[in-house]
Amino acid sequence: MRYEWLVRNAALAVVLLAAACAPEQPYYGPKLAGQSTGYTDIRLGQNRYRVTYSGNSTTDRETVENFLLMRAAQVSLASGYQHFIFDTRDTKANTTYFSDFTGWPQWPGFGWGWNSWPEPYDSPMDVSGESRPITRFEAYAEIVMLSDAQAQKEPRAIDANAIVARLGPIVMPPPPAKS
């Protein structure tokens, strides 16, 4: 009995550890208070919205733009329109750098200064490190929703139902089947 308990808890620990180490996945959903990832939409007029989507560090540019397109289609359908156009649209890349410096622990004192230590001693000014970029994409657009008659005359009109049908399985995949 004790052996079964140990095996069951060890298996649970392995599963939890694997889940904690898994890379952050792109998130499609509203941007909640205190979060930096998700979509927002603001009504600007009767048939005009501003839609944004902010990705996380693992969300590539194409995914961010697909999420924005999907949200624009959803907003249009929820507002009773079947078509929309982009009035303005842009995607911004925000890159920061994470740096890991080593080499200063042997510094004998505080502050800046010159030294005359002879070689082969390490100078406290010898610093090595690694920097790597972390890029987060944010896409925004102003959309104008069109009636069916307006959409027939507008060559840039986008069919919201077609976008949901095409991107829906990618943006919001079905949950895994239970076994």
Greater confidence (52 vs 36) lies with: 52
Give 117-142 pLDDT, tens digit per residue. Answer: 555 555 555 556 677 888 999 999 99
Phi, psi of 107 (to 5 degrees): -60, 125
* Mean pLDDT, residues 153-157: 96
- pTM equals 0.69
Give the least confident one: 21-30, 53-62, 78-87, 105-114: 105-114
Q: Percentage of the chain with pLDDT > 90? A: 52
Q: What is the domain partition of the chain in residue ranges? A: 34-101+127-171
Residue 101: pLDDT band with limits 50, 70, 90: low
In angstroms, the CA 80 to CA 157 distance is 15
Q: Which residues pair with 144 in a beta bridge?
A: 48, 85
Query: For residue 153, what pLDDT is reported?
Result: 97
Name the CATH code of domain 34-101+127-171 (choices 2.10.260, 3.90.1150, 3.40.50, 3.30.1360).
Answer: 3.30.1360
